[in-house]
Amino acid sequence: MTRLYTDGACRGNPGPGGWAWAEGQNHFDSGAAAHTTNQRMEVTAVIEALRAHPGQDVEIVSDSTYVVKCFHDSWYVGWRRRQWRNSKGQPVANRDLWEVLIDLALDGNRTVTFQWVKGHSGDVMNDFVDLLATRAADEPGKH
């Protein structure tokens, strides 16, 4: 199973943002969005990581409880059952990205698991993707 670290960052919320994924410090990618939110960048990071590893069994390691809990607690099951409404009856935020991510994670041709890591806690790879994502947010086009 391939272990991929992901992170998203945003300067202001909303504001300029960045996302990153890494499979070690020699195989990684990052990108930016001019006007976004931190949550959108966290989800985008995982989408891009999975797209870059088609058909591979993957463990996503993220400091985003938003991403990890969606899969550990199966939030997506209720969202789909309630026609993309959350437990309070409101439209699911970032539905456009969640639909893509859920399809990629549950495509049946591979196993995708999610592991939470505490952010800014000295985990070398989490710190690395944080640096890539914040750099992408600060310097779009230079990642």
Over 90: is that where the pLDDT of 120 sits? no
Give me the residue label for tokens 């026609």. Answer: 83
Q: What confidence tier does 121 reach under pLDDT thresholds 50, 70, 90?
A: confident
Beta-sheet strands, E only, within 11-127 = 15-22, 28-36, 58-62, 112-116
Quote the pLDDT of residue 99: 97
Over 80: is that where the pLDDT of 78 sits? yes
For domain 2-138, give the CATH superfamily: Ribonuclease H-like superfamily/Ribonuclease H (3.30.420.10)
For the chain, give the longest Cα–Cα distance.
Answer: 44
- Mean per-residue pLDDT, 105-129: 94
Q: What confidence tier does 141 reach under pLDDT thresholds 50, 70, 90?
A: low
- Mean per-residue pLDDT, 11-24: 95
